[in-house]
Amino acid sequence: MNMQHATQHTPCENGDREIVRRIRMGDEFAVSEMYRKYARYVAAIAYRLMGNDTDLDDIVQDTFVSAVQSIGGIKDSTVLKTWIGTIAFRNTSRYVMMRQKQKRLAEEKMHTWADFTAPGHSVSIEVEELMSRIPYKYRAPWILSRVMDMNLAETSEVCNCSVATTKRRIGKADTLIRRMRDDF
Amino acid sequence: MISENRQQQLSEILRSDPVPWDDLRERRVLGEIQQQLIQCNVRPTSRFDTRLLPFPALAAVAAFLLLGLGALLGAYFFSAKPSHPVPANQTTHSTSQNATPDTSVVEIEDIGEATLSKGAKIAFEKKFKNEIRFRQSAGRIHYSIVPQHNRTLVVHVQQIEVRVVGTAFDIEITRDSVSVDVVHGTVLVTAENKRLRLNAGERFDSKSFSKNMHTPNSDNHRMEKMLSQQVVDDAATAPSKGGPKKPASVSHEFNQDASKNIKNAYPQTTTADISPPTTPDESDVTRILKEVDKARRIGNLNDAGALLRQLIRTHPRHADIPIWYFTLGNVTFASGQYRAATQAYHTYLQKAPGGVLAEDAIAAIADAFSHQGDGNAASKAAKDYLEKYPVGVHAARMKAISK
């Protein structure tokens, strides 16, 4: 979801507050509302960070189930979007790490970011390979910021690290990309 | 080396890769989520996210833990028991929240929120492990508390104490009285050492209560007798003496007998004192909505539609009416009744023009017209959608329909 789309939901803060209140009260329809509002956003975060849609459904599902489960802990219900984004980021990171571990165990020489067999994947192999060479901790904030157009504050919130660290990691990813061969 | 220009190009390439997420996938995952929530009985928890605590609050907590430790050591060495339980997490200052010209919402930690009307005042008093106390000193405040068995909200208003666990209610302080209106759930009001249980739709008025309690007549005697099940002596549970105590009689269930008793107990009072339930019976609404969900899950869409229509008919002033119309639209759409679906979505838009589902409703109207074979109406609805949500979730499909 880009910024332009976000502005379409001007009353979203009040709507979010209402959604959170209703979910806390046990309203099942409110869960569907929250899902319909943010499913695409969560899917976008997961897909951009994973680079493929193999575990996309699972990540989206886990994210919303976790969100419902822990919605009692949300302090400011007007930041529901960022809060869900944080859960999505955490879940995606878990899947990325899990896959990296599996691949290391299998001793396969495959890069971690891309899955070439993924359906509907239109990015070239060179780009995927290039991205896979950037460590996940630098790649994740870079993608959120440069590809998903999140601002610095939002990116740091979603990545659960300070603005300074986020800035440093994005900068590091930029540097790594600049050092790579110009072959995509 | 990749130049900055090429780096920008890389971002563009990645951005141009469409997220493989369509309506079908969205619905399928939603179904799985709902199934998981039901199967695993996932409920919202009240876990307090300590990461969200600001540093001063953490410092305050640490300071009070040290103070508590000091107090315990002191009590041990001087062999004197503390007269009051040590708060588990007490802040040093009392915050007072004045309402803005219209209304203002104060979040009460993780247990709910208070909506302050103009001129209303609320101050934090104390926090214990199992309860949190506030004092309302003026105006009208609507409290909405999450059903949460392990923590109780206590509001002190003048000499009256209101205890709640998972409910919604209003407290209003006027010049000469205090009133408590229960929207749903149950609250326990303690006044003049008597405890009174109020259910949804019932009202407590301090003026009438006091008048009835101090008038030595047969009605008063009858009232005490009839309230024997709800009114208990509160001498032992006075907060300043015995400390916090978990209310034993607070219940989430709607107690119709209690309601009858209270009404009978005040035979001479008018509806202004003990008003009849004005809010719909939420348990009935919840039951029907569960039946709707069940019918939808097993694919019995006609029954689901009929139940929703019944719900709309029986609770025409319910706050969730727009959502019910939207759901009715979805149900009728799924069962192929596109004309009925269009009407339901239109009604949703009329009732909640800026609602969170407005975007989906407009898109669904376009879809419904398209299925009916009314190309012009479908195109018009799709254009309307694109005008309002040019980069919305359904934009690509709407573009196709508008052509």
Residues in Cβ contact with B130 at an 8 Å cutoff, skipping those fewer than 6 apart: B150, B151, B152, B244, B246
8 Å CB contact of B110 and A75:
yes
> Is the Cβ pair A184, B32 closer than 8 Å?
no
Segment B311-325 shows an average pLDDT of 84
pLDDT band at B321 (very low <50, low <70, confident <90, very high): confident
Name the band, by pLDDT with cuts 50, 70 and 90, for residue B148.
low
For residue range A66-87, what is the model confidence (pLDDT) as tens digits?
898 888 878 776 788 889 999 9
**Chain B residues whose beta carbon lies within 8 Å of the beta carbon of residue A33:** 323, 356-357
Res A11 pLDDT > 60 = no
Say yes or no: domain A3-179 is CATH 1.10.1740.10.
yes
In this predicted model, which residue has the larger pLDDT, B3 or A5?
A: B3
**Beta strand B121-127 pairing with B96-98:** antiparallel
Suggest the residue from B149, B356, B357 to mutate for an interface test with chain A (most A CBs closer than 10 A): B356
Predicted confidence band of residue A176 (pLDDT cuts 50, 70, 90): confident
What residues have CB less than 8 Å from A153, skipping those under 6 apart?
A: A163
pLDDT classification of A63: cutoffs 50, 70, 90: very high
Work out the average pLDDT over B389-399.
81
Query: Residue A20: which of B143, B146, B27 has the closest Cα?
Result: B146
Least confident residue range of A48-52, A131-135, B33-37, B163-167? B163-167
Residue B108 and residue B134 in contact, taking contact as beta carbons nearer than 8 Å: yes
Going by the DSSP 8-state scheme, the letter that residue B400 receives in this structure is H
Token pair for A47: 């897909």
Higher pLDDT: B268 or B311? It is: B311
- Token pair 């080396």 in the structure block, residue: B1
Which residue ranges make up each domain of chain A? Answer: 3-179
Q: B355: number of CA atoms within 13 Å, CB side?
A: 25
Average pLDDT, chain B: 70
Mean pLDDT of A98-124: 56
Cα distances from A50 to residues A43, A53, A114, B119, in angstroms, run 10, 7, 7, 52
φ, ψ of residue B167 to 5 degrees: the values are: -165, 180
Confidence band (pLDDT; 50, 70, 90) for B228? very low
Which residue in chain A is spatially nearest to B293 when comparing CA positions? A28
Q: Which of B4, B5, B7, B312 to mutate to test the interface with A (most CBs of A within 10 A)?
A: B7
Three-state DSSP class for A105?
Answer: helix
Q: What is the Cα–Cα distance from B194 to B102, expressed in whole angstroms?
A: 35
Contact B341, B323 (CB under 8 A): no
Short-list A69, A37, A71, CA closest to B389: A37
Band (B55; pLDDT cuts 50, 70, 90): low
State the residue for tokens 């990325």: A96
Looking at the predicted structure, is the pLDDT value of residue B155 above 80?
Answer: yes
End-to-end CA distance of chain B: 45
Asked if A122's CB is within 8 angstroms of B144's CB, the reply is no
Cα radius of gyration (chain A): 17
Partner residue facing B2 (CB), from A56, A57, A178:
A178
* Contact indicator for A23, A31 with CB cutoff of 8 Å: yes
Of B4, B26, B47, the CB nearest to A70: B47
Q: How many A×B Cβ pairs under 8 Å?
A: 168
CA distance B144 to chain A (A): 9
pLDDT at B150: 64
Q: Residue A42: pLDDT band by 50, 70, 90 thresholds?
A: very high
d(CA B279, CA B299): 32
A46-55, B48-57, B86-95: range with lowest mean pLDDT? B86-95
Task: Write the residue in A39, A74, A174 that is nearest to B26 by C-beta.
Answer: A39
> What is the amino acid identity at position B331?
V
> In which band, very low, low, confident or very high, does the pLDDT at B33 lie, cut at 50, 70 and 90?
confident
For residue A24, list chain B residues with Cβ-Cβ distance below 8 A. Answer: 44, 112, 146
What pLDDT score was predicted for residue B147? 64
Chain A residues with beta carbon closer than 8 angstroms to that of B112:
24
Which residue type occupies A112? T
Tell me the CA end-to-end span of chain A in Å, nearest whole number.
26
Round to whole Å and give the CA distance between B23 and A36. 10
- Note whether B44 contacts A11, CB cutoff 8 Å: no
Question: Are A25 and B147 inside 8 Å of each other by CB?
Answer: yes
**Is residue A121 within 8 Å of residue A113, measured between CB atoms?**
no
Tell me the pairing of strands B203-205 and B152-157.
Answer: unpaired
Closest CA to B201 of B283, B87, B123: B283
Query: Which residue in chain B has the smallest CA separation from A149?
Result: B15
Amino acid, single-letter form, for residue A177: I
**8 Å CB contact of B359 and A120:** no
Which span out of A32-46, B57-71, B170-184, B280-294 was modeled with the highest average pLDDT? A32-46
pLDDT of residue A88: 92
Q: For B230, which DSSP code?
A: T
- State residue B6's pLDDT score: 67
CA distance A125 to A107: 21
User: Which of B21, B47, B327 comes nearest A72 by C-beta?
Assistant: B47
Tokens of A173: 């990813």
Give how far Cα B116 sits from Cα of A69, B98, B100, B176, Å.
28, 8, 8, 20
8 A C-beta contact, residue B260 and residue B276: no
| Shortest CA gap A26–chain B (Å) | 7
Measured CA to CA, the distance from residue B137 to residue A35 in angstroms comes to 40
Q: How confident is the model at residue B215 (pLDDT cuts 50, 70, 90)?
A: very low
Confidence class for position B221, pLDDT limits 50, 70, 90: very low
H or E, element range at A97 = helix A80-106
Query: What pLDDT shows up at residue B239?
Result: 38
Amino acid at A75: K
| B71 phi and psi angles, rounded to 5 deg | -65, -40
Grouping H, G, I as helix, E, B as strand and the rest as coil, residue B79 is: coil
pLDDT over 60 at B218, yes or no: no
Identify which of A118-132, B143-157, B261-275, B305-319 has the greatest average pLDDT.
Answer: B305-319
The whole-number pLDDT of residue B112 equals: 74
A87-91, Cβ contacts within 8 angstroms, sequence gap of 24 or more: A87/A63, A88/A41, A88/A42, A88/A45, A88/A46, A88/A59, A88/A60, A88/A63, A88/A158, A89/A45, A89/A49, A89/A140, A89/A144, A89/A158, A89/A159, A89/A160, A90/A160, A91/A46, A91/A59, A91/A62, A91/A63, A91/A66
Q: Which residue has the tokens 């119709």?
A: B256
Q: What is the largest CA-CA distance in chain A?
A: 55
Phi then psi for residue B118, to 5 deg, are -60, 130
Helix, coil or strand: residue B184:
strand
Residue type, B316: P
Residue A104 predicted with pLDDT over 90: no
Give the tokens for residue A148: 């998903």
Which of B69-83, B175-189, B365-379 has the weakest average pLDDT? Answer: B69-83
Looking at residue B344, its pLDDT comes to 92
Q: B36–A61: do the CB atoms touch at under 8 Å?
A: yes
What is the average pLDDT across B359-385?
89
- Which amino acid appears at position B172 of this protein? E
Alpha-carbon gap, residue B111 to B154, rounded angstroms: 12
Report d(CA B279, CA B184) in Å as an integer: 8
Cα Rg, chain B, nearest whole Å = 28
Give the pLDDT of residue B102: 61
For A49-63, A118-132, B238-252, which range has the lowest pLDDT when averaged over its residues?
B238-252
Mean pLDDT across B243-272: 34
Per-residue pLDDT band for A89 (boundaries 50, 70, 90) equals: very high
